Structure 1
Amino acid sequence: MYQPLPFDITLIDSGLMGKETVACYLIESQGEFAIIETGNYQTSPRVEQLLEQKQISKDQIRYIIPTHVHLDHAGGASVMMDAFPNAKLVIHPRGARHMIDPSKLIAGAKAVYGEEVFNETYGEIKPIAEQRIIVAEDDDSITFGDRTLVFRDTPGHAAHHFCIWDETSKGWFSGDTFGIGYPIQDTPKGRCLFPSSTPVQFDPFKQKQSIQLMLSYQPNYIYLTHYGAIEVTKEKGEYLCQQLDQYIQLAEAQPEGKATGEAIEPLLMEHTLTKIAEYGCSSDREAIKKAITMDIKLNSLGLAIWYEKYLVG
């Protein structure tokens, strides 16, 4: 459930969507702490258990930071804000209103998942008081202890997405911008990543620009929400950008009016399984397919929605 990492970072398995699927991170500096990503309502008790083990007071949590407001990242924010009374929520400018009034987020998620599944997965999502929210514009920063985190606007996956640069570790907390890579995708040359193109604001051109911005910092690590800490090279980022180009080509290859999520999904699944195998992954193909099925379903829908907008101009 917990994995200590270098540079006073702890990886916490949120438990959302199964084991080693959605991560959040506890960062320490001189007795002060920040939490990046919030999972769902079941994640906060896991964080509290870790704090108890480490003999950390709840009052020492200074910041709670979802990278964007998709519910696998921000769904547990209100529960955490209740649990940690001294914490401020740091959020992208386009996401703040959804934390203050989450009704549209809730309605959208219920439309996708159905009310029963939504309630089981996310529970009650409550409004967060505006005075407890910090809106982080592009290149804003926060400091706790002697550690500074810098927020960079990284659209492409979503317009309300920032990534967080940690100079201490020379690493990015990447949300969904730098792709998806579960442990089952490990290879002798590192983890194979694939893009996240979920609805409804996916834009492959903006996402490539965001990846290039991240690479310009010459990072040593990427802290993936899906899932875990990986060493990063320029080549890994370029490989993601190449896949985004291939996503575009896949959509363009569909007959006119036929580039739907349902039509794209089997093609994108085969494409992704092939790329993972070509990268040197020896994991069982069916096990990989099971692990990425929901991602591919959402990626296909997001790609189809983007392509329809792209054609319109």
Structure 2
Amino acid sequence: MLDFIDDLGHGIYAIDTGFQRPRFDAAYLMVEDGRAAFIDTGTNHAVPRLLAALNALGLHADAVDWVIPTHVHLDHAGGVGLLMEALPHARALVHPRGLRHLVNPTALWLSALGVYGEEEMQRSYGKLVPVPAERAEASHDEQFIHLAGRPLRLIDTPGHARHHHAIWDERSRSWFTGDTFGLSYRAFDVDGRAWILPTSTPVQFEPDALKATVARLLAAEPLAMQVTHYGRIGGSVDEVRRLAAEMLAQVDEMVALARSLREAPARHELLKAALLDGYLARLRAHGHAAGAGAAEWLALDAELNAQGLEVWLDRDA
């Protein structure tokens, strides 16, 4: 097996897309009876890895039936159009609020450009390729599709973004959660226990909607969550619930912090610094040393979460 592929069992493989740093951004490949589906794709730069994963598993490009981004943020869906060019029989299944942005990615590009800037957009994402409208369709809440007879259930999961859905796989009793179940980096595992933090990346963070989404995910009593950043977490219903409680407690703390700094001068810098301090404190409580390397790893999340909280804070006002 290639070193950027993790076999998670049940015909599910996590593919390290190579975005930003190792084991940071995953695309998932599900294989059932010789047919395949991708859930999230990473960026354009990930496409060679995705195709190499198919080849490593002895599958041809025409074996892929579905490409399903959890939402249209570019670290999840930036490579959908380019990947679809290589998959002659695949259809893209996209949240109805995100579909038009993959068929015509101009607005998507401009929105991300405002967050990251031109240089970073070119370096990290490359030119976005439109998905042909005739090969794309909108999902709907409580939709079921099948991969070689294997049922997959899609539900609407707002909170991180309004164009977000999650995918339930009964075989593995796991959700593919995109960003609605937060971020959990394997570098911060301690004695096999995962650590988690929420993501409020701009521009549609909604804490109440996120809490309702997490409650809905937990209602299925999942054994695991397949998060894009990064990999399979959980292992039991109780462990998934522990992770959910940890994440939602942080959501409440982040919201309270943002409100306390609503009128503060240099609000963004204060918010970013306080978020990072909070993450490092929780990481130490988890049993991790949380030194300079951890601070460097989490600096981007603190920056993006601060931006997202400020957008929400101004909208809330």
TM-score over 0.5 for the alignment?
A: yes
Tell me the equivalent position of 1:92: 95
Tell me the equivalent position of 1:41: 44
Tell me the equivalent position of 1:7: 10
Asked if 1:161 corresponds to 2:167, the answer is no
In the TM superposition, structure 1's runs of 4+ consecutive aligned residues that sit over 4 Å from their partners are none
Tell me the equivalent position of 2:35: 32
Counterpart of 2:81, as a letter, is S
Tell me the equivalent position of 2:64: 61
Q: Normalized against structure 2, the TM-score is what?
A: 0.94
Q: Secondary structure at the match of 2:75?
A: helix
How far apart are the structure 2 equivalents of 1:189 and 1:45? 31
Tell me the equivalent position of 1:221: 224
1:106-125, aligned counterparts within 5 Å?
A: 106-125=109-128
Q: Secondary structure at the match of 1:276?
A: helix
Tell me the equivalent position of 1:305: 311
CA shift in 2, pair 1:258/1:184, >3 Å: same
In the TM superposition, residue 112 of structure 1 has moved relative to its aligned partner by 2.5
How far apart are the structure 1 equivalents of 2:192 and 2:256? 27
How far apart are the structure 1 equivalents of 2:86 and 2:39? 15
How far apart are the structure 2 equivalents of 1:44 and 1:299? 27
In the TM superposition, residue 250 of structure 1 has moved relative to its aligned partner by 0.8
Deviations 1:73-113 (A, max 9, x none): 01001111001111000110100010111001111222332
- Conserved in 2, the CA contact under 8 Å of 1:260 and 1:301? no
**Please, which moves more after superposition, 219-228 or 101-110?**
101-110
Q: Normalized against structure 1, the TM-score is what?
A: 0.96
- Conserved in 2, the CA contact under 8 Å of 1:16 and 1:40? yes
- Conserved in 2, the CA contact under 8 Å of 1:261 and 1:303? no
How far apart are the structure 2 equivalents of 1:106 and 1:252? 30
- Conserved in 1, the CA contact under 8 Å of 2:176 and 2:227? yes
In the TM superposition, residue 189 of structure 1 has moved relative to its aligned partner by 6.0
Tell me the equivalent position of 1:254: 261
- Conserved in 2, the CA contact under 8 Å of 1:262 and 1:301? no
In the TM superposition, residue 256 of structure 1 has moved relative to its aligned partner by 2.5
Give 5+ residue unaligned stretches, structure 1. Answer: none
Tell me the equivalent position of 1:243: 250
Deviations 1:111-149 (A, max 9, x none): 332223212221121211111112111111210112111
Tell me the equivalent position of 2:82: 79
How far apart are the structure 1 equivalents of 2:192 and 2:16? 24
Deviations 1:179-202 (A, max 9, x none): 111112212361110000011110
Q: Secondary structure at the match of 1:155?
A: coil
In the TM superposition, residue 169 of structure 1 has moved relative to its aligned partner by 0.3
Deviations 1:33-59 (A, max 9, x none): 000111111211111112222221110
Tell me the equivalent position of 2:301: 295
In the TM superposition, residue 237 of structure 1 has moved relative to its aligned partner by 0.7
Q: Secondary structure at the match of 1:34?
A: strand
CA RMSD of aligned residues (A): 1.4
Counterpart of 1:193, as a letter, is I
How far apart are the structure 2 equivalents of 1:189 and 1:246? 26
- Conserved in 1, the CA contact under 8 Å of 2:168 and 2:174? yes
- Conserved in 2, the CA contact under 8 Å of 1:199 and 1:301? yes
How far apart are the structure 2 equivalents of 1:200 and 1:259? 20
- Conserved in 1, the CA contact under 8 Å of 2:104 and 2:131? yes
In the TM superposition, residue 257 of structure 1 has moved relative to its aligned partner by 5.0
How far apart are the structure 2 equivalents of 1:104 and 1:134? 19
